[in-house]
Chain A
Amino acid sequence: MYGIINTAVEQLIVENYGNNTWLEIKKKAGVAEEQFVNMQPYDDKITYAMVGAAAEVLRLEAAEVLEKFGEYWILHTAKEGYGNLLDMGGNNLPDFLKNLNTLHFKVGSLMPNLVPPSFEVLELTSNSLLLVYTTKRIGLAPMVVGLIKGLGIRFNTPCNVLYLSDSSKEFSHHFKVSW
């Protein structure tokens, strides 16, 4: 994962639970870095350890932490740092979801070590679609739920996200998004 993801996790914790909680989580996760550099790739283990430690310290399920993070990512980190890129994604929720692959493709050309997920959209009705999320990373599906909900807030389109896959160990995850 690039440092920007870890920085976002840090900001989420600091803003919502304070710096001391972050230091406790960081210590528990065994993170030695004083500061993450956004454009530097880090081992995925660090991110997973931080999420695990955050869940333990905040007494939440890891899935809850990931969902919160997904929402935070859209509404704060991506918006503040890469607002114009986000704007390029689309002007409404379904357009944005349709452009997700292109967006990751473009970002990938700038971040050579990026291992992006892939997204396919199948329109179901005029106000619902099926999102197929494929990744080599395990257990991040709850984050996608948070990301979609964050997008719903961004485009002022309240939405329901239904996770349809049976196992979090699958590479492809299906979400029904309706608004």
Chain B
Amino acid sequence: MIEVKLSNENLQALFPFHFMVSGNLEILSTGRSISKLSNMISPGKLLSDYFKITYNGNKLSNAEIFSDNNAFVLEENINAFRLNAQCVKVSESVFLIVCLPLVDHTFNQQKFNLTLSDFAQYDNTVNQLFLAQVTKKTLDDATSINEKLVLKNRELQKTKERFELVVNSVHDIIFQTDGHGLWTFLNKAWEDIMEFSLEESIGSMFFSYLHPDDVQRNQELFLPLINREKAYCAHQIRYVAKSGKVKCMKVFAILTFDEAGNVNGTTGTLQDITMQKENAEKYELLANNVSDVVCIYDMLGSYVYVSPSVKFLIGFSAEELMGKHVLDFLDTKEFNSFEQLKAAMLDSKSHNKVLEHHIRTKDGKWRIIETSSRIIFDENSRPVNFISSSRLIEKRKRAENAIINALKDAQDVSNLKSKFISLVSHEMKTPMTSIYSGVEIMEMKAQRSNQIDQTFFRQFDIIKSEVGRLNELVEKILFWGKVESGKISTAKEVINVVDLLQNVCAEHNRIQADGRKIAMRIKGNPVLILIDPMHLRHILGNLMSNAFKYSSGKTNPELNIEFAKKNWKITVIDQGIGIPESEVVHLFQSFFRASNVEHIHGNGLGMVVVKHFVEMNDGLLKVDSKENAGTKISIAFPY
């Protein structure tokens, strides 16, 4: 037992958890923080009234508490908080029991609202509490970091798997070598193309797979890269596969460096272009002998082969174009059509596609060419190349433009003519109406006057007849003007054409002064027909009129109607004066009149309108005529 003397002030500061007790464990006073643990504890009561006093689980007697072996535990009866305790003899009858709250699961500083102010400044309990808290937090952080690490590792593994999948699914060989030229990595494509397994290849020298004739050249091609004169090297070189097949490879390689910046190897790709080269050679002979420029491109659009004739087309030599991209020579505005063409070719697989476009010449000018392209496929139907054939079309374009311009001019003239005819015709109709009315008034007055010579009446008839003829001509011109300007549309109906044709014939039969009649015959079974009835009436009316007019004094004109399997046909035949053979071709020109009809009235528009209407109804018109023998006009319409 230690005997010490303490001032009350120091006692509170150094031991905020303490009890001052008498020899029978009566509480004389308590530390300032004891009241936070239990406000029931008060001086005058026995310590054993509030606490179980034990050591190693055994209850201690008063003598044991005050003995030399005086470390023990106070366990509060109600709240069960526990205090480590040690007894210090102050005097013969006064003992100081110094306590420290036990830091374990039963201790909860929050439960008792204990703060740093409640403990001594250097209290071991507080130190342990801080240590426990910081340790727990550090462990939590470590766990959290570990979990993140696990997640990152999983992501890394997935990325690695995806990377391997991509690397092994590409058709090109992806490689890495060390600084001595030994393969350190090859993807699956190496096995597919070179037929060597990865196991036997990794660790072997890359140049042992080169074609013996290309080893020296390969060294020369790699030299600028090794000397760091170039950032990469790209060239074509031959490799030899396990089976002895020669493989032409397009090489792309760059250097790799260690952390110190020293070269530690190379990496890059080998693209098998054997098939492309074979294709190129196959077409080379042909291409060298044609005036068109033949080009072969890889699937990205780089030239693999260009025929020598390109020099005459754009000034660049074939060698200058090799390896360059086709878009380098195209107008940027036309890139889109080029890409569309490429997509269309890949879509349609076999069809030739034709594109008119501009191409840049060596001296920076632009020329128009026509390029027809298609895709070359390998034996597995995989696209390997584009092949194109190009030619200059500047002359043709000029000719086309000239034709287009001429057609436009003709159209303009035609429009002008239509307007003129329409204007003149309308201007003629008014005076003709006045003349006709004037003559009728004069004739009427003459009839009322007995003094007028009868020859006047004959002259009146002539004037009226001529005005009528002129009026008819104007009407036809106006009608033709409408037809020509597209103002007459087609209105097809399902009709009984036999009835319609019979009506037309009846009208014509009725007005014939010589009493002739149309001989009408029907062959086949009549059916209902889809046609514009106004057009059909006009067609037949014209043909009937002509047949009567140009066969005066001859036999009856004939009208044959035939309903065949694929079409139906009308044929009008007369035995009249016919048309001179050389003039038949002009029959459908506006205002044309044959040389043998000068004495017969006509205006040269009837047949033009007939042909136009026949075509508007999808019909086909045929003329057979012989001068002084007669004319046969056949029209076939589809059902």
Contacts and interface: CB of A to CB of B under 8 A. Distances in A.
A88 B33 CA distance: 14
The interface size bin for chain B is: 20 to 34
Contacts of A91: 113, 115
Given A37-B145, A38-B138, A106-B126, A82 B133 contact: yes
Contacts of B134: 39, 82, 85, 107, 110-111
B115 A90 contact: yes
Contact of A84 (B109, B127, B138, B140): B109
B141 A37 contact: yes
Interface stretch (A44-52, A97-105, A157-165): A97-105
A64 interface: no
B148 interface: yes
Interface string B100-139: 0000000001100111110001000011011101100110
B281 to A, nearest CB: 54
B115 A106 contact: no
A19 to B, nearest CB: 14
A104 to B, nearest CB: 11
A157 B129 CA distance: 27
B137 A88 contact: no
Contacts of A88: 109, 114-116, 126, 129-130
B130 to A, nearest CB: 5
A87 B110 CA distance: 7
B141 A38 contact: yes
Given A81-B140, A88-B130, 7 more contacts: A35-B145, A37-B141, A38-B138, A39-B141, A90-B117, A91-B115, A110-B130
A167 B541 CA distance: 116
A95 interface: yes
Contacts of B109: 84, 87-88
A98 B115 CA distance: 11
B116 A84 contact: no
Which 9 A-B residue pairings sit nearest by Cβ, starting from the closest? A99-B116, A110-B134, A106-B130, A90-B115, A102-B116, A84-B133, A38-B141, A81-B137, A85-B133
A98 B117 contact: yes
A116 interface: no
A139 interface: no
Contacts of A90: 115-117
Contact of B121 (A82, A89, A102): A102
A35 B137 CA distance: 16
Nearest to A86: B133
B111 to A, nearest CB: 11
Interface in A103-135: 103, 106-107, 109-111
Contacts of A85: 129-130, 133-134
Interface string B248-276: 00000000000000000000000000000
Nearest to B121: A102
A110 B117 contact: no
17 contacts: A37-B145, A39-B141, A84-B110, A84-B133, A85-B133, A87-B109, A89-B115, A90-B115, A91-B113, A91-B115, A98-B117, A99-B116, A102-B121, A107-B134, A109-B127, A110-B131, A110-B134
Interface of A: 35, 37-39, 81-82, 84-85, 87-91, 95, 98-99, 102-103, 106-107, 109-111
B116 A103 contact: yes
Contact of B137 (A82, A106, A109): A82
Interface centre among B129, B130, B138, by most chain A C-beta atoms within 10 angstroms, is B130
B117 A95 contact: yes
A37 B117 CA distance: 31
Contacts of A110: 130-131, 134
Nearest to B130: A106
A39 B116 contact: no
A83 to B, nearest CB: 8
A55 B451 CA distance: 125
Contact of A106 (B110, B114, B127, B138): B127
Contacts of A98: 117
Contacts of B110: 84, 87
A12 B432 CA distance: 102
B541 to A, nearest CB: 85
Interface string B148-161: 10000000000000
A156 to B, nearest CB: 15
Central interface residue in A84, A90, A102, by most chain B CB within 10 Å: A84
Contacts of B130: 85, 88, 106-107, 109-110
A95 B115 contact: yes
Count chain A CB atoms within 10 A of each CB in B114, B117, B131, B148 and give the residue with the most. Answer: B117
A141 B49 CA distance: 53
A81 B127 CA distance: 17
Q: Which one of B115, B116, B129 has the greatest number of beta carbons of chain A within 10 Å?
A: B116
A64 to B, nearest CB: 29
A109 B127 CA distance: 8
Best-surrounded residue of B109, B114, B121, B141 (most CB of chain A within 10 A): B141
A37 B110 CA distance: 29
Residue among A88, A102, A111 facing the most chain B CB atoms (10 A cut-off): A88
Nearest to A105: B121
Given A82-B133, A85-B133, A109-B127, A39 B115 contact: no
A169 B126 CA distance: 35
Interface string B297-335: 000000000000000000000000000000000000000
Contacts of B121: 102
Nearest to B138: A39
Nearest to B110: A87
A89 B140 contact: no
B305 to A, nearest CB: 48
Contacts of B131: 110
Contacts of A39: 134, 138, 141
Contacts of B126: 88, 106
B122 to A, nearest CB: 10
Nearest to B132: A84
Contacts of B115: 87-91, 95, 99
A102 B131 CA distance: 14
Given A84-B129, A85-B130, A38 B137 contact: yes
A82 B130 CA distance: 9
B135 to A, nearest CB: 8
A35 B129 contact: no
Contacts of A106: 116, 126-127, 130
A110 B133 CA distance: 10
A39 B144 CA distance: 13
Contacts of B138: 38-39
Interface in B354-373: none
A84 B107 CA distance: 12
A37 to B, nearest CB: 7
A34 to B, nearest CB: 9
